[in-house]
């Protein structure tokens, strides 16, 4: 089910991307290393992927990052765009298991699983994919990109782990209660 | 209010090109710029993009704010590269010609300068291209163009939705931020990290949930108007390709191929002036 | 009204239950609608009227699942079998939220949206779009983005988007909810014109009865608790007590005539005040007016907020606000009205400090608040956003209400006390340990107000406190706000375009138009001033017409007399129910 694209998924991709782009500027500065502030938009990406599945996660990651960078910073750092999609896909693949919309993202088991998945996904994305692309495509110094990648990894697992988890629990509580009742008012 | 780069209607040869040819040009251009480290090609690209920039009559005020931001990041990145790997250039070019010893293990070399110069001009092949693409391409054409290069129309249309709702969500974000600020919650860099995350959460929380509501409303509206029922769809704002478009596409394909051939012909992406 | 031809819509014993609910939402619906009719479906929230509408466009059962019994035929077909897409070729649905329905980047594209999905070739599509745009006077806006349009224009685009498909039935889901009164009136006129020209059947779901009745309606279908409780011609419906009984607000002139003790008969055609024959009631109305003696006690005035010569612009091109000066007195309830884009929200944002004025002074308690930050002002001037969902950021009620205090470093003990106090004042104390998500809309609104009240502000600014609410919820929210004012003496400023709200509850009205303060007067003075009403996109009250027709020389004082009577009645009902 979750891997199929229905209208709701298309809209989630579009509006999710818009939200991701808007939050490009909302950063929580961490340490003075370029590209390594805490990025609340990562929590949004993880949230959307966990609710809507891997395709939505991939598109919001790709489009959102590329568009956000282009609109706000006038440059697109492609080697950091693709890892974003990796996180979106990885988290999205487990969307059925998290059962956010069904209201079951309240059990410790699902929350733990989400966090294990997001840590692994972020590790692959920022400690492997991003630096490798940086080296392969842009010939950046290896030690620099791995340090940057490590900071991005740390920042992202913190923001997704805290903010992403809180958002998912809260949404799961609301969605599970009465998703079908909404049509009435 | 928003400092984002946006499309501005004008009548220039670049504006007259269809979105599809500009998208193909943009993608191949960026790919070429990413892969090549051949200084000659990069310089030619900088030269070309500056000319196109002039033809497209991009106004400085449209892009100045964003330009400042990207320059800031670029300088930091260049400095970082030096501090992390002062001899990256020597490794790449296989020689070492010192200019001046700075301190500790840091010596400035011609190779490093040249390598960082390449990184620097890479920025200048892409940044103006993005400016041109964003200011000359009617956003309405983007979705159909994406569809034109083979992306399924459902995904292409999500780009249209994204562009449509960015201003609305930006406005809502600002209003929520204001209202929460009046309640004493600020997204500032003061305070402990956990507090900062908490404060950010109080703004993101309502924004995300109203976004989820919006997704419901918009999907109903789209369903009621027949989106997604047929295998294909037509586009109101799609432009037929004119001869100029075909020329552009043929040119960029040839240019891309040529640049890749030249770059990789000697088995090395770098143009090496040191041997 | 008898029609010879066959019904275009026919519900026979239709019941429907949402999958997640225990009880059916629609029960035994029998309804026939004939081609060319205009039907108004009225009912409170939760009466089932939206569910009924969703059955017509097949969103039920195709998108919202559930159990349906009975038969429904639309143009001889079964919506459930045709599906949402199939039905969209027959029934055009115009949603309440024009921003949600405006999907594309420009007007032209949005008008074409359904045609694009139907794979219509581009040149044919352009012709069709141009044709629709002409009919709706949108030709000059084809390349405009939604952000550049007014609310009325956006609604015309929504309408055009469904008209492009040559539908037979137009279905409007609360079309007036987001519009200023004058634009709402124009919309109703436009619907009327289009249905006559294109020979369409129209169904309007709306609880703002008086505004819909601006043009003839064939029947009013009244719903309550999932059933159709009444299905009558408007003239008859207005004479009955059904509307009041089921929580729908009657047109004001009808209430006034009834308040005067007259019994209205259908033969006087009460559907429009302009054409109604009021001779049978004239004497009663006149004596009612003469009896309700002028007894206005003006309370002592303590200056609280003084705004002088305020000026604001985002850029050099256009001033958003110009030369704005007014005073607000302690304990007042003031309405800030004017059409969309007149500068109401900007004025509020200047007072709250979200934006800085280029010129002018804002004094609070005799003190210039210019140097205060947003946060500091927030302790004195509270701001409540339109939708509670835009403000609530904590899952638990106690945490939400205490948020402002905690962020200001107030000790925990004191926070708990003040939060409890605020919850008590707001009638939320019994729910203090509930999650916010378990509350109704009205209760959430209370939480938002409690979370501001807890900081003991001098002023609370509310943005559209009752937008989109039916009469019952409107009354609940407004009575609550009034009660808060009476209990705590806090001053209330409300941004609104609801003429009823302004009339029912405010002491004074500031009318903004194109960035200037057009009038600062009592609500009854505003609503009887034709020139101000038309310039500010307000609607002159029908009580004015009634009083003129009765030969009353001073319509304003008649309106005032009626308002005072109604307020007395309401507070009596309130105190009775409290006891």
Chain B hits for C115, CB-CB cut-off 8 Å, are: 234, 236
Indicate which of B3, B208, B226 best probes the interface with C, i.e. most C CBs within 10 Å of its own CB. B226
Q: Do A183 and C437 touch (CB under 8 A)?
A: no
If residue C543 lies in a helix (H) or strand (E), which one and from where to where? helix C542-549
What is the chain A residue with the closest CA to B80?
Answer: A144
Q: Could A147 and B84 be called an inter-chain contact, meaning their C-beta atoms sit closer than 8 Å?
A: yes
Cβ contact, residue pair C437, A181, below 8 Å: no
Which pLDDT tens digit goes with each residue over B148-169? 888 999 999 999 999 999 999 9
What are the residue ranges of helices labelled H in B85-192? Answer: 88-93, 110-136, 139-148, 153-182
> Does residue B123 fall inside a structural domain?
no
Question: C13 in helix, strand or coil?
Answer: strand
With CA atoms as reference, report the closest residue to C124 among B146, B19, B240, B234.
Answer: B234
Residue C174, by phi and psi: left (phi above 0), alpha (psi -120 to 50) or beta? left
- Answer whether A24's CB lies under 8 Å from A139's CB: no
Q: Where are the alpha helices (DSSP H) in C164-241?
A: 181-198, 209-212, 234-239
Distance CA C445, CA C392 (A): 9
Domain assignment present for B227: yes
Q: Which residues contact C172 (CB under 8 A, 6 or more apart)?
A: C94, C191, C202, C203, C204, C205, C206
Q: Which residues contact C131 (CB under 8 A, 6 or more apart)?
A: none
The structural domain count of chain B equals 1
Cβ contacts of C379 on chain B, cutoff 8 Å: 184
The reply to whether residue A185 touches residue C395, judged by beta carbons under 8 angstroms, is: no
Query: The tokens of B229 are what?
Result: 């029922």
Answer yes or no: are the C-beta atoms of C437 and C443 closer than 8 Å. Answer: no
Partners of B175 on chain C (C-beta within 8 Å) are 385, 390
Chain B residue numbers touching C146 (CB-CB < 8 A)? 164
* Nearest-by-CA chain C residue for A169: C395
Q: For the range C476-485, what are the long-range contacts, defined as Cβ-Cβ under 8 Å and sequence gap of 24 or more?
A: C476/C442, C477/C442, C477/C445, C478/C504, C478/C505, C479/C570, C479/C574, C480/C426, C480/C427, C480/C442, C480/C445, C480/C446, C480/C449, C481/C333, C481/C449, C481/C505, C482/C333, C484/C425, C484/C426, C484/C449, C484/C453, C485/C331, C485/C333
Q: Which chain B residues have a beta carbon less than 8 Å from that of A11?
A: 158, 161, 215, 218-219, 222
Instruction: Confirm if B267 and A45 have CB atoms less than 8 A apart.
Output: no
Contacts of B182 in chain C (CB under 8 A): 352-354, 374-375, 377-378, 381-383
Q: Could you give the CA distance from residue C120 to residue C115 in angstroms, rounded to a whole number?
A: 6
State whether B164 and C394 contact (CB < 8 Å): no
Quick check: A4 pLDDT over 70?
A: no
For tokens 């251009």, what's the residue? B29
- Convert the pLDDT of each residue in C75-100 to its tens digit: 999 999 998 888 999 999 998 888 88
In the stretch 53-72 of chain B, residues with CB closer than 8 A to chain A read 63, 66-67, 69-70
d(CA B263, CA B35): 8
Residues 215 through 234 of chain B touching chain C, CB cutoff 8 Å: 217-218, 220-230, 232-234
Instruction: List all residues of chain A from 80 to 109 with a beta carbon under 8 Å from chain B.
Output: none
Tokens of A161: 């782990």
In B, minimum Cα distance to C167 occurs at B225
Chain B from 160 to 199: CB within 8 A of any A CB: 160-166, 168-170, 173, 187, 189, 193-194, 196-197
Kindly state the helix (H) or strand (E) to which residue C386 belongs, with its residue range.
Answer: none
Report the predicted TM-score, pTM, of the whole model to 2 decimal places: 0.90
How far off is chain C from B181, nearest CA to CA, in Å? 6
Taking the CA of residue C449 and the nearest CA in chain B, the distance in Å comes to 12
Residue numbers in A near B173 (CB within 8 A): 22-23, 26
Residues constituting chain A: 185
Residues 6+ apart with CB under 8 A from B269: A139, B35, B36, B37, B38, B263
- The confidence score (pLDDT) of residue A183 equals 32
Domains of chain A in start order, with CATH, are 7-26+33-178 (1.10.1760.20)
What is the predicted pLDDT for the residue at C1?
46
pLDDT of amino acid B256: 94
Distance (Å) from the C-alpha of residue A185 to the closest C-alpha of chain C? 6
pLDDT (tens place) for every residue of chain C, 579 residues total: 444 578 999 999 999 998 877 889 999 999 999 999 999 999 988 889 989 999 999 998 888 888 999 999 999 999 999 988 889 999 999 988 888 899 999 999 999 999 999 999 999 999 999 999 998 989 999 999 888 888 889 999 999 999 888 899 999 998 888 888 888 999 999 999 999 988 999 999 998 899 999 999 999 999 999 999 999 999 999 999 999 999 899 999 999 999 888 999 999 999 999 999 999 999 999 888 887 755 555 566 889 999 999 999 887 777 889 999 999 999 999 999 988 778 898 999 999 999 999 999 999 999 999 999 888 899 999 999 988 888 888 888 898 999 999 888 899 999 999 999 999 888 888 888 887 877 888 888 889 999 999 999 999 999 988 887 888 888 888 998 998 898 889 999 999 988 889 999 999 999 999 889 999 999 999 999 999 998 988 888 999 999 999 988 888 889 988 888 888 888 787 777 766
Across the interface, whether the CB atoms of B206 and C451 are under 8 A apart is answered no
Query: By mean pLDDT, which of A39-43, A104-108, A147-151, C294-298 is the weakest?
Result: C294-298
Other Cβ atoms less than 10 A from the Cβ of C322: the count is 19
- Mean of pLDDT over chain B: 88
pLDDT for the residue numbered A179: 39
pLDDT, position C69: 93
Position A31 scores a pLDDT of: 56
Inter-chain CB pairs, B–C, below 8 Å: 164
Judged by CB atoms within 8 Å, which residues 30-49 of B form the interface with A? 30, 34-35, 37
Q: Could you tell me which chains touch chain B, where touching means 3 or more CB pairs under 8 A?
A: A, C
Q: Is A93 exposed, middle or buried (0-12, 13-18, 19+ CB in 10 A)?
A: middle
The answer to whether A166 contacts chain B (CB < 8 Å) is yes
CB pairs under 8 A between A and B: 191
Say if residue A139's pLDDT is above 90: no
DSSP C39: E
According to the model, what pLDDT value does residue C509 have? 94
Taking only the tens place, the pLDDT of each residue in B216-225 is: 999 999 999 9
Q: Which residue in B53, B110, B122, B56 sits closest to B86, CA to CA?
A: B110
Q: How far is CA B138 from CA B7, B85, B191, in A?
A: 6, 42, 43
Give me the residue spans of the domains in chain C.
Answer: 9-259
- Nearest residue in chain C measured CA to CA from A7: C63
Alpha-carbon span A51 to C297, nearest angstrom: 59
Subunits with 3+ C-beta pairs closer than 8 A to A: B, C
Residues 6+ apart with CB under 8 A from A128: none
Q: Find the residue in B nearest to A51 (Cα).
A: B212
Give the domain range for residue B152: 142-236
Q: Which residues of B touch C61 (CB under 8 A)?
A: none
Question: Mind giving me the DSSP string for chain A?
Answer: -TTS--HHHHHHHHHHHHHHHHGGG--B--SSSTT-SB-HHHHHHHHHHHHH-HHHHHHHHHHHHHHHHHHHHS---HHHHHHHHHHHHHHHHTHHHH-TTTT-TTSHHHHHHHHHHHHHHHIIIIIIIHHHHHHHHH---HHHHHHHHHHHHHHHHHHIIIIIHHHHHHHHHHHHHHTTGGGG-
Contacts of B254 (CB under 8 A, 6+ apart): none
C66: tokens are 């559930």
Cβ-proximal residues to A69 (8 Å cutoff; 6+ apart), any chain? A24, A75, A76, A77, A81
Q: What is the ipTM of this complex?
A: 0.88
Buried b (16+ CB within 10 A) or exposed e, C72-96: bbbbeeebeebebbbbbbbbbbbbb
- pLDDT band, residue A180 (cuts 50/70/90): very low
C9-259 falls under which CATH superfamily?
P-loop containing nucleotide triphosphate hydrolases (3.40.50.300)
Q: Is the pLDDT of residue A178 over 60?
A: no
Q: What is the DSSP string of C488-509?
A: H--EEEEE---HHHHHHH-SEE
List the strands of the sheet with C303-312, edge to edge.
C321-329, C303-312, C359-364, C367-368
């Amino acid at each position: 089910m979750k891997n199929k694209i229905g209208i709701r998924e298309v809209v989630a991709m579009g509006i999710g991307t818009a939200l991701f782009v808007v939050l490009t500027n909302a950063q929580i500065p961490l340490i003075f290393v370029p590209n390594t502030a805490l990025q609340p938009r990562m929590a949004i990406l993880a949230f959307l992927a966990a609710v809507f599945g891997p395709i939505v996660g991939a598109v919001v990651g790709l489009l959102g990052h590329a568009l956000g960078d282009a609109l706000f910073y006038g440059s697109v750092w492609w080697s950091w765009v693709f890892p974003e999609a990796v996180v979106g896909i990885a988290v999205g693949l487990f969307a059925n298991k998290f059962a956010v919309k069904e209201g079951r993202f309240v059990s410790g088991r699902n929350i733990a699983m989400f966090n294990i998945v997001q840590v692994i996904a972020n590790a692959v994305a920022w400690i492997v994919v991003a630096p490798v692309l940086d080296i392969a495509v842009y010939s950046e110094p290896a030690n620099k990109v791995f340090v940057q990648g490590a900071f991005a990894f740390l920042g992202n697992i913190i923001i997704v782990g805290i903010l992403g988890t809180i958002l998912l629990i809260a949404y799961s509580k609301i969605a599970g209660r009465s998703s079908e009742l909404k049509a009435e008012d | 209010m928003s400092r984002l780069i946006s499309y501005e209607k004008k009548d220039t040869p670049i504006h007259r090109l269809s979105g599809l040819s500009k998208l193909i040009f943009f993608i191949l251009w960026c790919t070429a710029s990413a892969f090549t480290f051949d200084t000659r090609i990069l310089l030619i690209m900088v030269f070309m993009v500056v000319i196109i920039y002039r033809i497209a009559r991009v106004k400085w005020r449209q892009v100045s704010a964003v330009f400042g931001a990207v320059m800031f990041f670029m300088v930091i990145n260049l400095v970082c590269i030096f501090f992390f790997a002062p001899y990256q250039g020597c490794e790449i070019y296989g020689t070492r010609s010192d200019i001046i010893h700075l301190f500790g293990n840091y010596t400035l070399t011609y190779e490093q300068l040249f390598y960082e110069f390449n990184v620097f001009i890479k920025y200048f092949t892409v940044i103006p291209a993005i400016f041109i693409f964003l200011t000359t391409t009617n956003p309405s054409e983007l979705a159909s163009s994406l569809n034109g290069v083979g992306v399924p129309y459902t995904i292409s249309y999500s780009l249209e939705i994204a562009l449509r709702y960015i201003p609305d969500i930006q406005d809502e974000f600002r209003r929520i931020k204001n209202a929460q600020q009046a309640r004493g919650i600020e997204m500032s860099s003061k305070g402990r990290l956990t507090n900062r995350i908490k404060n950010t959460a109080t703004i993101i929380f309502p924004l995300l949930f109203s976004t989820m509501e919006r997704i419901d409303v918009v999907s109903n509206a789209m369903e009621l108007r027949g989106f997604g029922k047929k295998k294909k769809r037509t586009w109101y704002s799609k432009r037929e390709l004119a001869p100029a478009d075909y020329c552009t596409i043929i040119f960029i394909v040839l240019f891309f191929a040529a640049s890749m051939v030249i770059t990789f012909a000697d088995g090395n992406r770098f143009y090496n002036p040191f041997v | 009204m008898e029609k010879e031809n066959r019904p275009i819509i026919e519900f026979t014993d239709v019941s429907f239950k949402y999958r997640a609910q225990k009880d059916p939402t629609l029960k035994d619906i029998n309804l026939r609608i004939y081609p060319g009719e205009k039907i108004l479906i009225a009912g409170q929230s939760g009466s089932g009227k939206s569910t009924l509408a969703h059955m017509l466009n097949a969103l039920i059962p195709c998108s919202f699942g559930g159990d349906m019994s009975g038969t429904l035929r639309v143009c001889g077909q079964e919506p459930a079998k045709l599906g949402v897409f199939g039905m969209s070729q027959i029934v055009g649905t115009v949603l309440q939220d024009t921003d949600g329905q405006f999907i594309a980047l420009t007007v032209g594209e949005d008008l074409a949206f359904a045609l694009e999905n139907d794979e219509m070739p581009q040149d044919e599509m352009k012709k069709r779009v141009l044709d629709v745009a002409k009919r709706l006077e949108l030709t000059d806006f084809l390349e405009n983005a939604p952000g550049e349009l007014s609310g009325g224009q956006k609604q015309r685009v929504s309408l055009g988007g469904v008209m492009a498909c040559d539908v037979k039935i137009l279905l409007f889901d609360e079309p007036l909810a987001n519009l200023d009164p004058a634009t709402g009136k124009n919309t109703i006129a436009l619907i009327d014109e289009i249905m006559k020209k294109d020979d369409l059947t129209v169904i309007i779901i709306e609880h703002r009865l008086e505004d819909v009745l601006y043009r003839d309606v064939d029947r009013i279908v009244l719903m309550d608790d999932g059933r159709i409780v009444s299905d009558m011609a408007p003239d008859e419906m207005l004479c009955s007590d059904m509307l009041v009984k089921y929580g729908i607000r009657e047109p004001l002139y009808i209430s006034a005539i009834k308040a005067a003790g007259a019994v209205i008969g259908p033969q006087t055609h009460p559907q429009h005040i302009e054409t109604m024959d009021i001779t049978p009631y004239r004497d009663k109305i006149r004596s009612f007016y003469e009896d309700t003696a002028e007894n206005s006690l003006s309370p002592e005035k303590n200056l609280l907020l003084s705004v002088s010569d305020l000026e604001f612009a985002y850029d050099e091109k256009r001033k958003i606000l110009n030369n704005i000066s007014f005073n607000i007195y302690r304990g007042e309830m003031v309405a800030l009205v004017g059409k969309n884009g007149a500068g109401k929200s900007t004025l509020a944002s200047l007072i709250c400090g979200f934006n800085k004025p280029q010129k002018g002074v804002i004094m609070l308690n005799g003190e210039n608040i210019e140097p205060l930050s947003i946060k500091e002002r927030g302790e004195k001037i509270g701001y409540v956003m339109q939708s509670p969902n835009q403000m609530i950021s904590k899952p638990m009620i106690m945490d939400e209400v205490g948020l402002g205090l905690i962020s200001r470093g107030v000790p925990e003990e004191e926070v708990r006390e003040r939060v409890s106090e605020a919850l008590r004042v707001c009638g939320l104390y019994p729910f203090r340990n509930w999650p916010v998500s378990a509350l109704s809309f009205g209760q959430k609104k209370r939480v938002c107000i409690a979370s501001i009240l807890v900081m003991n502000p001098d002023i609370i600014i509310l943005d559209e406190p009752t937008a989109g609410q039916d009469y019952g919820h409107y009354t609940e929210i407004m009575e609550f706000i009034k009660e808060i004012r009476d209990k705590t003496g806090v001053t209330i400023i409300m941004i609104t375009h609801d003429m009823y709200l302004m009339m029912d509850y405010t002491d004074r009205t500031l009318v903004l138009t194109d960035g200037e303060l057009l009038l600062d007067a009592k609500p009854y003075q505003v609503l009887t001033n034709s020139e101000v009403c038309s310039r500010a996109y307000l609607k002159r009250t029908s009580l004015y017409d009634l009083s003129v027709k009765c030969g009353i020389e001073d319509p304003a004082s008649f309106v005032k007399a009626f308002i005072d009577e109604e307020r007395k009645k309401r507070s009596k009902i309130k105190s009775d129910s409290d006891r």
